[in-house]
Structure 1
Amino acid sequence: MSQRRLNLISAALVLGVFTTLLDTTIVNIAIEHLRAAFDASIAQTQWVATAYLLLYVAVIPISGWASERFGARNVWAFSVAVFLAGSIFCGLATSLPMLIGFRAVQGIGGGMLIPLSFSILTRAAGPERIGKAMVAIALPAQLAPVLGSVLGGLILQYWSWHWMFFINIPVCVAALALVRFLPEVPGRPGTRLDTLGFALLTPGVIALAYGISEATGAGGFTAVTAWLPLLIGILLVAAFVYHSLTTRRQPLIDVRLFARRSFGLSSVITFMAGFTTYALTLLLPLFYQQIRGEGVLATGLLLIPQGAGTMLFFLLARRIATHVDGRFIVAGGSALIMIGILPFVFTGLDGGGILLLAGQLLQGIGFGAAMFPVMTLAFGSLTHDEIPSGSAAFSVVQRVGAPFGVAVVAVILQSRLDSADSPAQALTAFTGTFWWVLGLSLIPCALAFLIPKTRKKTAQVTAPDQ
């Protein structure tokens, strides 16, 4: 496949992935605005985000089977079309229940896009170009939270909330226009769905996602609405693991992939990113709004250096990184994240703005350096036939594991804020939580040295290792 064709494939996939991630960020910062618009409680309005999350994770496990059964390109186009329809109806919603229902429709479309994009891109690029191709997925994933905050602030300040969803229309239409460039791999009608695996894993990940979302509320993980779904989810997922290991048929997700050193370790590091990379996407906006008193738009603008740092890595440092052992890139990225957190650990109620922005720039560079080799290693280690199942498995870890880390950090922050009676004490609550994130960043830094040594001239790609 020519590089030009691969670039067109990447462009189509970027549009699909970016619009779903951007939409998630914009909606999350608009919960308070929607609560006021519909005269509802926070608990009721939160279902705008929760409904999307639950349906999003519900369809991830079947993405591998669907791509094999109906063809990856067909399922990808269907997912974009469903997300587009959900976006239109969300924008036209006249009540909160309508909006929640159509957000669920959006989740069905959005949930399949990322694992399918991983699968299509990995197969199209091949092991020789997987490192370069993965930028198409990694860069939007890091930039969407930053740009979403800015766009969300602009929309809520100068337009109506309906445009949070209408903004998806031109992006989805452009993605559908580029579908013809995606590789056409015919489906295999004889591919059977692992119904028992589906019945175990899908409600399992839904229960986990719901329990995690409830843990960020009052009571944290001790609330019945949090620990009970988590317990049910753990039991169902454990039952699925047993089923996957013992079934004679092709399982919905082959959990044996996690026993492979490269794929398993990459998944663990991705899971730990919830306590560091993704936790910072929660802490930084809250810090600027609650401690520094910034508005939504100003907060979004203040977060730009973080996205700029990630872009800087992918545009400049990535070419150098492909000639350096991936272990040192991941460890160096984790170290940069920790250095970037330090200004927030020692900050005051005001001042030090330049240091905070510089810290975010280092965080952004660290994000790119820490996650890029991990994603490359995970998918570069899969064979052609393993890619659909591996993409679904990795996406489950990413979409359930990462929010778990964020929820834990949110509980730590809330427990400290509960006893804060003054701005100075609130600042102490934040700086103490930043210390936790700094300490947890040591774990992926240490795990980096367990990654299989990579060859210098072939990017961070290794042969499948058992």
Structure 2
Amino acid sequence: MRYSVRTPFVTTALVVFLGGVMTMLDSTVVNVALTTLAHDFRTTPATMQQAVTGYLLAMSMTVPVTGWAVGRFGSRRVWLVSLVLFAGGSALCAAAWSAGSLVAFRAVQGLGGGLLMPVGQAMLAQAAGKERMGRAMALITVPSMLAPVLGPPLGGLVVEGPGWRWLFLVNLPISAVALIAAALLLPREPDPAAAPRQPLDVLGLALLSPGLAALIHGLSEVGGGASFAHPALWIGLALVAAFTVRALRVPGALVDLRLLGDRTFAAAVVALACYSAAMLGFTVLVPLHSQLAGGGGPLEAGLLLAPLGIGAALTLPIAGRLTDSRGARGVAATGVAAVVAGIAAFAAFPGPVPILVAGLGHGLVSTSVVAAAYATLERAAIPAATTLSTIALRLASSFGVAVLAVLLQLLTAAGAARPFAYAFGCAAALAALSLVPIVLIGSKTWRRSSSAPA
């Protein structure tokens, strides 16, 4: 079936892609500029790391309000406001005069960026419908594929060329195009004021947003060498646990955990969590291996991940079509097998070919499982579902990086002959674990319990 460029699906996909690419690239491009920023602001790279951490934490804190904001104001309005906030934060970052000002402005940028991806995913899933969910998720996956591959090399080129301020200035023309495209192409929604208003769960927000920020920060610190007794980790766990207990007992919670009553959605979220923990950990280990074990430089380490993006780009279109026509389970299982084989092969024979194999599988898994997560839900439940799944992925990714980093440190301290090989083996095992919930997706013995609440 051919789609006109004016159909809601195609126009929404274009708008979501423009916003998604900016926010995902901004999460990685600054990493290579930390030394330069520390020199210009006369501070240490460790201090400038807060600019990266602050952006990610701000993104995490805004995710929980996505479902409520879309229901209260409409996805189109939330998208436009988020774009303006992200563009304003980018302009402020480019004008930063000190390390403290840059950290603060990165947080402003992250507040807008945190809403763009889940809102965009919800808009695209609703525009696609169940019959095109696989192709829709293939499109939404592209920015997250490009970020870890293109971010470090692009950041290096910009820093060595026009200077670090252009890391943020380049966002302004893209944001302008994205705003114009959103204003002209996104379909207008019914006035949200005409629908019954869901009050904001203020207590839930007070528990979950700082809880997520503290938990992710704590996991980041543990991955950097801190003890598991780090206060932020346990404070975050306590706040998230308190929110979970409350959300299961109180109607109208900020994040609707009743969506996990849809067993297909629950299985897909668990599969994504296991897989994301393994895959993000792998993308962190590869550059470390290149620099510590192979003696390569930062740019060489960043380019080593390029085959991952190339492989995923080759299979993404195929994955979307196969998922729509044959279901997600077989596509996802094939992808996981390729990823596990690629990671295991890289542990034994480091090089671009195993990473390419893992990339081929990555394109299959990410598309099919995300499509499966939303395929059985009612259209009105999708914004809340994208909020819940995004939170799960953020936590799982941070957990995977922390666990693999700690394992690598322990193996190195113990004098293991091949510490990286064992760490890569752990990543492969974690990816293989996602096969258990993947097998349950669409299984006749794992029937969908009921229609998830809207």
Regarding TM over 0.5, the answer is yes
Which residue pairs with 1:36 in the alignment? 39
The residue aligned with 1:359 is: 354
1:132-147 aligned at under 5 Å gives the runs: 132-147=135-150
Cα shift readout 1:311-358 (whole Å, capped 9, x = no counterpart): 0001345434544342222111111011111332123xxxx6xxx211
Write the distance in 2 (CA, Å) between the matches of 1:109 and 1:305. Answer: 30
Q: Does 1:26 align with 2:21?
A: no
For residue 378 of structure 1, the aligned residue among 366, 369, 373 is 373
Match of 1:8, SS state, is helix
- The one-letter amino acid paired with 1:445 is L
Q: How big is the shift at 1:211?
A: 1.1
Structure 1 counterpart of 2:157:
154
- In 2, distance between residues paired with 1:295 and 1:364? 22
Residues 1:10 and 1:464: Cα distance change in structure 2 (over 3 Å) = farther
What is aligned with 1:107? 110
Task: Please say which of residues 136-145 and 26-35 is displaced more in the overlay.
Answer: 26-35
Letter in 2 for 1:15: L
Deviation of 1:235 after TM superposition, in Å, equals 2.1
Q: Does the C-alpha gap of structure 1 residues 369 and 181 become closer, same or farther in structure 2, counting only changes over 3 Å?
A: same
Which residue type is aligned with residue 155 of structure 2? G
Change (3 A) 1:70 1:322: closer
Rounded to whole Å, the distance in 2 between the matches of 1:45 and 1:414 is 23
After superposition, the Cα gap between the structure-2 partners of 1:88 and 1:359, relative to the gap in structure 1 and judged at 3 Å, is: same
Q: Could you say which residue in structure 2 is the equivalent of 1:303?
A: 305
**1:144-169 alpha-carbon deviations (Å, 9 max, x no partner):** 21011220121223331112112222
Cα offset, 1:97, TM superposition? 0.4
2:280 maps to: 278
Say whether 1:195 aligns with 2:202. Answer: yes
Letter in structure 2 aligned against 1:363: A
| Overall identity of the aligned pairs, in % | 36
Given residue 426 of structure 2, which amino acid in structure 1 is its aligned partner? Answer: W
| Corresponding residue of 1:210 | 217
Q: Which residue of 1 aligns with 2:435?
A: 445
Cα RMSD after superposing both structures: 2.2
Distance 1:310-1:357 versus aligned 2 partners, 3 A rule = same
- TM superposition score normalised by structure 1: 0.89
Instruction: Rate the CA distance shift 1:196–1:368 in 2: closer, same or farther, 3 A.
Output: same
Tell me the distance in 2 between the aligned counterparts of 1:134 and 1:321.
10
Q: Is the 8 A contact 2:131 2:324 kept in 1?
A: no
Give the corresponding residue for 2:382: 387
SS in 2 for 1:276: helix
Q: How does 1:221-260 map to 2 (within 5 A)?
A: 221-222=228-229, 224=230, 228-248=231-251, 250-260=252-262
Structure 2 residue corresponding to 1:184, chosen from 165, 188, 191: 188
Query: 1:451, CA displacement in angstroms?
Result: 1.3
TM-score normalised to structure 2 length: 0.91
Equivalent residues of 1:57, 1:205 under 8 A apart: yes
Per the TM alignment, residue 112 of structure 1 is displaced from its structure 2 partner at its CA by: 0.5
Q: Which amino acid aligns with 1:215?
A: V
Distance 2:274 2:148 in 1: 18
Give secondary structure in 2 for the equivalent of 1:29. Answer: helix
2:102, 2:54 → 1: CA distance?
10
For residues 300 and 92 of structure 2, the distance between their equivalents in structure 1, rounded to whole angstroms, comes to 30
Corresponding residue for residue 266 of structure 1:
268
CA distance in 2, matches of 1:266, 1:111: 22
Give the Å deviation of 1:62: 0.7
Taking the aligned partners of 2:131 and 2:4, their CA distance within structure 1 comes to 12
SS of the residue 2:128 aligns to: helix
**Deviation of the 1:465 alpha carbon:** 5.3
* Cα distance change on mapping 1:357 and 1:376 into 2, 3 Å: same
CA distance in 2, matches of 1:247, 1:140: 36
> Are the counterparts in 2 of residues 262 and 451 from structure 1 also a CA contact under 8 Å?
yes
Structure 2 residue aligned with 1:435: 425
- Equivalents in 1 of 2:209, 2:226: separation in Å? 26
Task: State the match for 1:458 in structure 2.
Answer: none
> Do the aligned partners of 1:60 and 1:395 also contact (CA within 8 Å) in 2?
yes
Q: Moved runs in structure 1, 4+ residues, more than 6 A?
A: none
**Cα shift readout 1:218-269 (whole Å, capped 9, x = no counterpart):** 33424x3xxx222222222222222222224x22111011232111111111
SS at match of 1:193: coil
Asked whether the 8 Å contact 2:64–2:205 carries over to 1, the reply is yes
Which stretch of structure 1 is more off in the superposition, 229-238 or 373-382?
229-238
Shift of 1:14: 0.7
Residue 175 of structure 1 corresponds to: 178
List runs of 5+ in structure 2 lacking aligned partners: none
Given that 2:132 and 2:324 are in contact with CA atoms closer than 8 Å, whether structure 1 keeps it comes out as no
- For 2:390, the aligned partner's letter is S
Once the two structures are superposed, residues 274-326 of structure 1 have per-residue CA deviations (whole angstroms, 9 ceiling, x without a partner) of 33111111111222222222223333333221101000001345434544342
Between the two proteins, the alignment pairs up a number of residues equal to 442
Shift of 1:464: 6.2
Between the aligned partners of 1:172 and 1:381, the Cα distance in structure 2 is 33
Aligned-partner Cα distance in 2 for 1:161–1:109: 21
- For structure 1, which runs of at least 5 residues remain unmatched after alignment? 455-461
**Offset at 1:35?**
2.7
